[in-house]
Amino acid sequence: MNESPRRKELTRLAAQLFVQEGFDRTTVRMLAQEMGIKSGSLFHHFKDKQEILAAVIEEGTHNALVIARRSIEQCPAEPEARLRAMARAHLETLFADRNAHVVALFEWRRLDPAASAHLSHLRDAYEALWVEVIDGALQAGLIHGDRFLVSRFILGALNWTVRWYDPNGSRTPDDLADELVGMIMAR
């Protein structure tokens, strides 16, 4: 993979537009303008528009995986702390980090089959990490339910925050994460 600093910078700008407008409504002209170049020059860095999307989604998923791993390594080994750390990490990559993870979650369907197949191992690794942490919480009796469904519900609740959460409001992403974990914990 091409990993020039220039390309990384352009990928970051693309992620921002993809979140604001959606992939389909974002034109190469809009991308070029945001990057301060003309639309023709874009294709020196990316083969086509699809490749820009793939680059954004790869970065977003990779970031999420790295940050989540780091978070659970650095936190106490208790199931509750690990669950909280995962939820916090997820919202951190969604709101505090760049927008790439949001694009990965909401525009995955727009990837062509080849790119999707190539990147699915990253997504699978991230979801496996979640299931692992949730398994720990289940075995500790902290939460209850089916491991698969619990993961899906928690991730759904977290992902949907993109649609309503206002980062300029009074609550921090960490507050949200803690509230969600509190909601599902047996008392």
**Residues engaged in binding DNA (CB under 7 A):** 4, 6, 26-29, 32, 36-41, 43-45, 47-50
Closest CB 151 distance from a copy of itself, rounded Å: 10
Q: What is the token pair recorded at 45? A: 């860095």
Short-list 93, 19, 13, CA closest to 45: 13
**In whole angstroms, what is the distance from residue 181 CA to residue 125 CA?**
22
Q: How many C-beta neighbours within 10 Å does residue 145 have?
A: 12
- H or E element, residue 9: helix 5-21
Q: Which is nearer to a copy of itself, 63 or 159 (CB)?
A: 159
Q: How many C-beta neighbours within 10 Å does residue 135 have?
A: 14
Q: What is the token pair recorded at 15? A: 């992620």
Stretch of 41-49, 56-64, 93-101, 159-167 contacting a copy of itself, by CB under 8 A: 159-167
> Does residue 159 interact with a copy of itself by CB under 8 A?
yes
Q: Which of residues 77-106 bind a copy of itself (CB under 8 A)?
A: none
Closest CB 128 distance from a copy of itself, rounded Å: 15
Binding interface with a copy of itself (CB under 8 A): 22, 24-25, 109, 143-146, 149-150, 152-161, 163-164, 176, 179-180, 182-184, 186-187
